[in-house]
Amino acid sequence: MSDRFFSLLSKHQRFDDALQAEQNRAAPDTARLQYLKRMKLRIKDRMVQLMRTGRALQSS
């Protein structure tokens, strides 16, 4: 897998962790939840794009 793919995977996990933490708060910030979900989806879309083009399999 490429360095770029692993970088995106790491970012995706960090956003997922932040999303879980925000959801577990007593009074979650809905704007922050929307932002985290949107960013997580953007990163996932980039990962899928890399997989489709085959670049995820190339090392940098």
Q: Could you tell me the mean pLDDT of each successive run of 10 residues in the chain, 60 residues long?
A: 91 98 97 98 96 72
Query: Which residue's structure tokens are 């809905």?
Result: 30
Report the chain's C-alpha Rg in angstroms.
14
pLDDT at res. 60: 52
pLDDT at res. 57: 65
- SS3 call for 44: helix
pLDDT at res. 53: 87
pLDDT at res. 36: 98
pLDDT at res. 6: 94
Q: What is the spatial distance between Cα 44 and Cα 50, in angstroms, rounded to a whole number?
A: 10
Dihedral sign, CA of 52, 50, 6, 29?
negative
Angle, CA of 8, 33 and 51, to the nearest 5° = 25
